[in-house]
Amino acid sequence: MSGHRVRVVEAGRVPYHQALAWQRALAQARIDGRLEEDLLLLLEHPAVVTLGRTAQGTHVLRPEGVDVVEVERGGDVTFHGPGQLVGYPILDLRRYRQDLHWYLRTLEHALIVALDGLGIPAERNAGYTGVWTRGGRKIASIGIHVKQWVTWHGFALNVTTDLSQFARIVPCGIAGVEMTSVEREGGRGTGDGSLWDETVAAVIRGFEDAFGVTEPRHASPSLTEA
């Protein structure tokens, strides 16, 4: 257990370009020492397709009607849209472990723990990054960027996402992959809130468990904070 605290910021629906600039600014502030705490940004985006460093243009099948954005994260092509919980951890890995493989596996573990809390058995898929259900359907994608051991970009967990939107792309460059969502898999928590709220709570618990952080603190969003 690291005993570190992570401030959780639930920012609602944020246009992709705006969120990208926000997390870049926060990461640079963390590198420079102007930001003294780690953050977990939780939000969703309007429909957008993003291309990671290893993306192939042929994996974008139907770009009509959405922005297509090239970014510095690892990985291939993915889709973001309403109903998808996106998490951007701004972490200084020098406080945890300076190991990118460990970081990717720990993000996966956080989501597997979260999904277990929602009643969805999930697992890794050998040779790939991300999280799958036991039925072989992909439910979460992961793509990261790290500079001077500070992270940004992160994960995308389908909650109530319109899965037909994934027909726009070859998700993560994996031909024939079947995408799924918390809703489709019958996920549920305690039943005290909406599926979205239950999923957010489960992801925070999973993050706390996987990274050994204590008492994640919530804050109001500030897109100018850096």
DSSP string, 142-179: EEEEEETTEEEEEEEEESS--GGGGGGB-GGG-TTPPB
Task: Using the structure block, give the residue that is written with the tokens 């109530």.
Answer: 160
Residue 126 has a CB neighbour count (10 Å cut-off) of 5
Tokens at 53, concatenated: 């460093």
Task: Using the structure block, give the residue that is written with the tokens 């969805």.
Answer: 120
Pick the catalytic residue from 6, 120, 172, 179.
172
Q: Is 22 a catalytic residue?
A: no
Taking the C-alpha atoms of residue 171 and residue 59, their distance in angstroms, rounded to an integer, is: 8
Give which of 49, 102, 46 is closest to 71, Cα–Cα.
49
Give which of 148, 134, 142, 185 is closest to 163, Cα–Cα.
185
Active-site annotation, residues: 172
